[in-house]
Structure 1
């Protein structure tokens, strides 16, 4: 059964209007967590009314509930209380939720703990180990078993994406185990009793800890811990050699994974000085490290280095050597390596690598492989040779996929049938993979049906990656089969499978294009609830890009934005500003300002608009006026105590009010600017002159300002000058503005330009004055007027105007 949480519970946990808050700067990281519940529905719908005829109608579509993992709700709730500095839930409830979550992760290996879940688990564990259980009225406490179970989950199930919090969690878990052991020793408790309390003589905690360190970027610490461990061993304990070798292998593999060549070679030197043998795992680590980096000489040196007891390199070492040789043209070096392997009568796993070498390097076909299979099965030294199995067929199909040859892959599959080898789940998965590459959707679906009917057992949801790939391919088809897509997603829902972020993006984009908003809601509800922040960002950005696509209709974009706002309240302010700009570009200032209002209403101060964002919104209203939206934004600004008024904000308000045909209000802000300590800028002058152009008798105000500019002997930029010309022309002072333009060289030190003549012409009232100005300008400045004519004209309510753009900026 799915989680019985209501829709509103889901909103409260992950997608509430209260938003996912980042941690404070003191925390040193950023994570989204849900805040206190707020009673807002996900989608506003009318209350249904029952009528007599309504009984024959279909019931309304019910939204699917999110599939929260057991205990995860408690982790989210604790973090929300922690962020708000509120009293957390009772310790017993926190312990129960923490244990539920860890046990669920331990049972479900296909659902590793992602970075967000690791952080939430870490924060709750820090609270549990720092607080006194007795002081909180609880006798229950985390046991060694609880801590070890969490360490096992962390060490053996690495996730995709960032793992910073996994490393911290592993360090805290092991540190708490060690702290408790030292406390018992400090109390004088006998070692045998301590071992019994811990859970046995050798619980494997140290090995789990080293595994976690080397998986999550802590290999240097792992090397230090290993040195301490070796120092604590008694010299006569020879049985510890195997453990030390295993631990050292972990450390070397971790250093190689992190690309620490210098430290890797230093640790290898210590390993050799300890007189430990050069075993196949060590050979694999060292040769693979240089092979993957295409270091030819070093790769050959480490691969050819004799292994202890003349053992063969591991199959993976041979595979990496083969890939290295193909990339670097070293097939001649590889030839004797594999010939020696073949002559050594290898075991079955090595033969599977040999077959891949034959296909990829030697370009062998099916008939050649048949002969090699006979050689493999030939008895040697009185022992029967290994027989091909499903793993052999998988290896051959994998090689064909590497060669991008689906036909060859099909022939290898037929070879398995000919040899009466029953395909396993991995064989079907590979078959789906190469058929997808060949765009054979019919063949892919036939295989999927076989898996669905249970012809083979699929362990640990191994088919999920290829099913995700199948869904993405169906969504990307020229004519997507929506029915088949919905059937597959329904099957996955029954399996409680979580789709990959890329697949969720493909599905949601398809549903949005087909106006299937309910399917978008269901997809987001079922899958994004357990995503890490990085995975949520991936889906969120796809929604934002959809909203920014000018080819999409405004109605669909608004629907998409509504879903984005509901499911991704952690959307960054700069992303919201991009959405606001997109609605302004669509000439929908009302929608743009609603987006801005949603940003203003965020509970998290870091997500609220800054002064620059207010300016950007008001500038948008200057280009696309809307009086009602302007009033709303201005009221927000008045009530926003986090924003201090300055010249830029006043300039933006002047722009917006002047564009909304309220120049009187705009000029009032000019007076606020002149009375402020900061004073006006050149942009302020250009804007106020524009407002004067729009205001009846605005020339009186403009002349006063102009006289002050001249008295102060300021350098006048061209945009300020032509704005002043527009202010005079707007009141019909034709002769005066012509004299002003004629005397420009003496007044401001430069002559008129295209905008000087264009702004003046557009501002003049009536066709008579425009005609007089045109005749004068055409005669006085023929070249400039010719350039202006190329811009073209348009008829407006205020008369003929040139197609010039005055881009007012605060």
Structure 2
């Protein structure tokens, strides 16, 4: 059964404020968005363009399609509920309910191998655990508390299942869990409880939580802290460290692996020196760490040095170390160096795992074919006195196929698969998965589908969703095909839905984009509902960005863009303000100011103050209305501004209002804002002058107001920018004062210090009423400024209800 969040939770989460986002604003916002997106989507009025009609035969029609509920992991609802109450600073649910939900969630993660804690889930778990360990169980109910088993299980899930995305809260979570376990152990010691009883209570006689803690530190960027912790641990062993030498070696291996993973060469070599001074053996895991560190960086001298360093008891390097050496040799042309190493390995009659590496070396480096490999298989299978006879198995076939894939040779991979059939080796799930992988690379969709159907029939056992990565790849390939097979795609997604499998963000993006292109909005809704609810902040952002880019694509119809925006708005309420502004600008560019202002209004309606529009965003919206006027939308935005107590009016906002009202053919209202500017402490700017002259141009008898403003400018001896000058010319021309405009332009050099340009003549010409005055102005300008006028004529002219006008753009900015 799918989990469902109560509507109460959603309302609490959506009603967040900026103060509620502490201590981690980004992730807290993500949690709110996750819960909002997981809400059962019942209203999508903006995506239904066709109105249903009632008919007599309606009783025989199919019932309306039901939207699918979000597939929440067991216990996750509890984590979201707790966070909602914490955000609202309200009393949390009963402690027993919190403990039950947390246990369900952790145990589910522990049972499902592919279900790691993403960054958002780690944050929610951390917040709940901080509450549980800092509050008194007896004061909150029946005294029930977290057990050592609970803490160890949570630490195990945190340490051993790293997610694909960011892990910024995993380290803090592991530190909290380990500190709580240690605190409880110390309390028991202070009470005089015997050590054996403590170990029994903790649940592991070797106190394995320490290794889990080091695993988490080295997994999530805390390897330096792990090294310091190990030094303290060794110091605590006293004068007899040999009593726990196996544990010390295992922990040191973790520290070295973590330092290598983080690329800390100096610290890695320093820890190695300590390891060496402690007289611990150079075992295969240490050999693998050191040689692989330099091999992956193509450090030839150091790689050879560490790989050739003798291993304790003449043990062989690990199969992974050999494979990294193979890849290192191929990249750096060191095949000759590798040859005697593998000859020695072959002559040592190694175990089966090493033979599989030998086969890969033969294919990748020596370029052996199928017949050569068959001979090598015979050598491997030849009985050796004192050792078990070896036979190839599915792992051998997988190794050969993997080598062929690495060589980008699908034909060779098929031949190795046939070799397995010839040897009567039963393929396993990984074999089929590899086969799907290289057939996908070869665009052999029918071949991939045939293998997928075998998996569906259960010909092999698929464990722990090991086929999910290749199925995601298959879905993406189907979506990207020139003619996508929509029916097949829906069948695969339905099968995965039955398995409660979560698709990768890239796959969700591919599916949603395909469904949007085919107007399958309900399939988009289902896909988002089922998968994005369990995504982290980064994964949700990946899907969100794809929707935004789809909306910004001018090749997509406006109707489809609005559908996509409606879904974006409902499933991703955490969409950043700057992203919403880009969408608003896109609708203005499509000449849909009504839609642009709805986008702005949705931003204004956000409960989180950090997501509401700033003064700059109001200006941007009003400037858009200046380019694409819409009176009703303007009044809506203006009312929002009046009611917005977070925005203080200044000259730029007044300028923007003047622009918008002047463009909406309400110049008288625009001039009222000029009066507000002149009465303000800040006063007008040059942009204010250009805008007010434009408003005067549009208003009957506006020249009277314009002349008064111009006289003040001249008295103050201000430097007049070209856009202000041509705007004043337009104000006079708008009232039909042709002679005065000509005198003004003729005297420009003396008045403002520069001559007329293209915009000076173009604005004046466009503003003049009637064809007679336009013709007179043209004759004068053509004679006095022939070069400028010729340049202006290249812009072309258009016929409007106000007469002929040049195709020039007056980009009014606040």
**Does residue 1:33 correspond to 2:31, yes or no?**
yes
Is this contact kept in 1: 2:285–2:318, CA < 8 A?
yes
The correspondence for 1:260, drawn from 245, 261, 264, is 264
Specify the alignment match of 1:314 in structure 2. Answer: 318
Compute the displacement of 1:494 (Å).
Answer: 0.4
* Separation in 2, partners of 1:405, 1:172: 49
The 2-side partners of 1:188 and 1:628 are apart by 78
8 A contact 2:18–2:609 mirrored in 1: no
2:363 is matched with 359
**Aligned match for 1:56, one of 53, 60, 69:** 60
Which whole-Å deviations, capped at 9, do the CAs of 1:360-401 have from their partners, x for residues lacking one? 111111011111111111222343542111111101101111
Kindly indicate whether residue 204 of structure 2 is the aligned counterpart of residue 207 of structure 1.
Answer: no
Q: Which secondary structure does the structure 2 equivalent of 1:542 belong to?
A: helix
Question: Secondary structure of 2:139's match?
Answer: coil
Q: 2:338 aligns with which of 326, 334, 342?
A: 334
- How far is 1:270 from its partner? 0.3
- Pick which of 39-48 and 115-124 moved more: 39-48
Tell me the residue number matched to 1:94. Answer: 98
Equivalent residue of 2:155, what SS?
helix
Q: Is structure 2 residue 135 aligned with structure 1 residue 131?
A: yes
CA contact (8 A) 1:122 1:169 kept: yes
- Aligned 8 A contact 2:17 2:607 in 1: no
Q: 1:700 to 1:39 in 2, by over 3 A?
A: farther
1:460-495 deviation per Cα after TM superposition (whole angstroms, max 9, x unaligned): 010000000000000001111000000000000000
- CA gap 1:193/1:392 in 2 versus in 1, 3 angstroms: closer
Are 1:744 and 2:742 counterparts?
no
Structure 2 partner of 1:788: 792
CA distance in 2, matches of 1:429, 1:661: 66
> Paired residue for 1:661, among 658, 665, 670?
665
CA 1:77–1:5 in 2, change beyond 3 Å: closer, same or farther? closer
Counterpart among 150, 156, 160 of residue 154 in structure 2: 150
Residue in 2 that maps onto 1:433:
437
Deviation at 1:99, TM superposition (A): 1.0
Aligned counterpart in structure 2 of residue 380 of structure 1, from 378, 384, 387: 384
The aligned counterpart of 2:609 is 605
1:461 is paired with a residue whose SS is: coil
For 1:586-665, list aligned pairs within 5 A.
Answer: 586-665=590-669
Which structure 2 segments of 5+ residues have no match?
none
Q: Deviations over 1:329-359 (max 9, x none)?
A: 1112111111111111111111111111111
C-alpha displacement of 1:26: 4.4
- Unpaired runs of at least 5, structure 1: none
- Given that 1:19 and 1:602 are in contact with CA atoms closer than 8 Å, whether structure 2 keeps it comes out as no
Structure 2 CA distance for aligned equivalents of residues 356 and 19 of structure 1: 56
Structure showing greater relative contact order (alpha-carbon pairs closer than 8 Å, 6 or more residues apart)? 2
What is the CA distance between 1:575 and its match in structure 2? Answer: 0.3
Shift in CA distance, 43/138, structure 1 to aligned 2, threshold 3 Å: farther
Per the TM alignment, residue 228 of structure 1 is displaced from its structure 2 partner at its CA by 1.1
**Structure 2 SS opposite 1:801:** strand
1:382/1:275 Cα in 2 relative to 1: closer, same or farther (>3 Å)?
A: closer
| Inter-partner Cα distance in structure 1 for 2:203 and 2:508 | 44
Distance in 2, Cα, partners of 1:612 & 1:699: 31
Aligned-partner Cα distance in 1 for 2:43–2:284:
57
Contact 1:288 1:299 in 2 (8 A): yes
- Contact 2:651–2:684 (8 Å) recurs in 1: yes
Aligned partners of 1:42, 1:310: CA distance in 2, in Å?
70
Q: Is the 8 A contact 1:548 1:579 kept in 2?
A: yes
Compared CA separation, residues 229 and 598, structure 1 to 2 (3 A): same
Q: Please point out which of 24, 32, 50 is paired with 2:21.
A: 24
Q: Deviations over 1:588-639 (max 9, x none)?
A: 0000000000000000000000000000000000000000000000000000
TM-score with structure 2 setting the length: 0.96
Give the counterpart of 2:690 among 686, 690, 693: 686
Matches of 1:521 and 1:751 in 2, distance apart? Answer: 61
2:20–2:88 Cα contact (<8 Å) kept:
no
Other-structure match for 1:411? 415
Superposition deviation, residue 564 in structure 1:
0.3
Match of 1:286 among 285, 290, 293: 290
- Give the SS at the match of 2:32: coil
Change (3 A) 1:341 1:26: same
Is the 1:42–1:566 contact (alpha carbons within 8 Å) kept by the matching residues of 2? no
Q: How many residues align?
A: 807
Residue 775 (str. 1) matches residue 779 (str. 2): yes
* Higher alpha-carbon deviation: 199-208 or 27-36: 27-36
Q: Which residue number in structure 2 is paired with residue 423 of structure 1?
A: 427
Task: State the alpha-carbon separation in 2 of the partners of residues 660 and 538 from structure 1.
Answer: 39
Give 1:168's aligned residue: 172
* Residue of structure 2 equivalent to 1:577: 581
Query: Structure 1 residue aligned with 2:114, among 110, 113, 116?
Result: 110
Give SS of 1:791's match: coil
Aligned match of 1:2: 2
Shift of the 203–339 alpha-carbon distance from structure 1 to 2, 3 Å rule, reads same
Distance between the aligned counterparts of 2:16 and 2:588, measured in 1?
25
Of 467, 472, 476, 1:468 maps to 472
Distance (Å, rounded) in 2 between the aligned partners of 1:395 and 1:763: 79
**Partners of 2:726 and 2:51 in 1: how far apart?**
58
Do the aligned partners of residues 589 and 49 (structure 1) sit closer, same or farther apart at CA in structure 2, a change above 3 Å counting?
closer
The 8 Å contact of residues 792 and 802 in structure 1, kept in 2 or not, is answered as yes
Aligned-partner Cα distance in 2 for 1:394–1:719: 73
Give the distance between the partners of 2:407 and 2:134, measured in 1 at CA: 56
Q: Return the offset for 1:122.
A: 0.2
Matched residues in 2 for 1:565 and 1:28: separation? 20
Residue 792 of structure 1: how far off its partner (Å): 0.3
8 Å Cα contact 1:5-1:65 kept in structure 2:
no
For residues 191 and 783 of structure 1, what CA distance do their matches in structure 2 show? 99
- Residues 480-534 of structure 1: per-residue CA shift (max 9 Å, x gap): 1000000000000000000000000000000000000000000000011100010
1:271 aligns with 2:275: yes
Q: Deviations over 1:255-277 (max 9, x none)?
A: 10011111100100000000011
Confirm or deny that 1:500 pairs with 2:504.
Answer: yes
Alignment correspondent of 1:43: 44
Which residue is equivalent to 1:514?
A: 518
